[in-house]
Amino acid sequence: YIPQFFDQAYDLNRVVISTKPDPLSGSDLTIVQTKDMMVFGDYEVDDSGSSSNGLYGSAGLNLFDLVNFSASYTNMTQDTLEIKSFTAFLNLNTDNIPKINAAMAYYQRNNEPNPFDFKNASENTIMGYRIGYELSRGVSLIWDFKQYYRDDGTGKLKPIKQTTIETAFNF
């Protein structure tokens, strides 16, 4: 079991292209990795009884039924491999806001050596917000903004900003 393998960033991390210098030629190598190659690359999955152990913790705060905050942390180890993840959500109670039926912000950093390194993003970092506008009873227009990071071809990470607009039907 790998925690948060199928997470909010799964579609973004299914295939990641990065570059790194070739130690022999000095030229840049382009590396294409799937999510399972990145996560399972150092992770042994076999029938020998090898398993991972770790901890999971979460906390939540409801502030006067106006704002809900929740955060979770995972730390799994197997032999010398350590997988750490951190996720946080901030949900606004929209019951008293006309026409707004959802408002949420999130931060997620999975399978990292230090998921609390907020100043240095990685390819496993994703953050964003979702706002739902009620068009009519049971029909919403959802604005979803995400920011994640990818190799720009020179070995440096650049932020990718993605906005999607969805229509949701609730019945």
> Which tens digits make up the pLDDT trace of 88-103?
999 999 998 999 999 9
96 vs 17, higher pLDDT: 96
Residue 166: what pLDDT? 94
Residue 91: what pLDDT? 94
Question: In residues, how long is the chain?
Answer: 171
Over 90: is that where the pLDDT of 110 sits? no
Q: What is the mean pLDDT of residues 2-15?
A: 62
Which residue type is seen at 70?
Answer: S
Residue 124: what pLDDT? 86
Copy the structure tokens of residue 161: 């900003």
Residue 121: what pLDDT? 87
Percent of the chain with pLDDT over 70: 72
Q: Could you please report the per-residue DSSP string of 18-86?
A: EEEE-TTT-SEEEEEEEHHHHHHTT----SSS---EEEEEEEEEEETTTEEEEEEEEEEEETTEEEEEE
CA–CA–CA angle 142, 149, 146 (5° rounding): 10
Residue 99: what pLDDT? 93
Over 60: is that where the pLDDT of 1 sits? no
Greatest extent of the chain over all pairs of C-alpha atoms, in Å: 63
Place of tokens 């739902």: 132
Q: Please, are residues 33 and 50 in contact by the beta-carbon 8 Å criterion?
A: no
What's the distance, CA 51 to chain centroid? Answer: 24
28 vs 138, higher pLDDT: 138
Q: Name the residue ranges covered by the structural domains of the chain.
A: 10-169
Q: Please, are residues 157 and 123 in contact by the beta-carbon 8 Å criterion?
A: yes
Q: How do residues 31-69 score in pLDDT, each as one tens digit?
A: 666 766 666 655 444 445 556 678 888 899 999 989 999
- Residue 9 pLDDT class (50, 70, 90 cuts): low
Residue 23: what pLDDT? 73
Copy the structure tokens of residue 153: 């071809």
Q: What is the mean pLDDT of residues 70-91?
A: 85
Copy the structure tokens of residue 76: 């799994």
Nearest CA-CA partner of 109 in 129, 87, 82, 130: 87
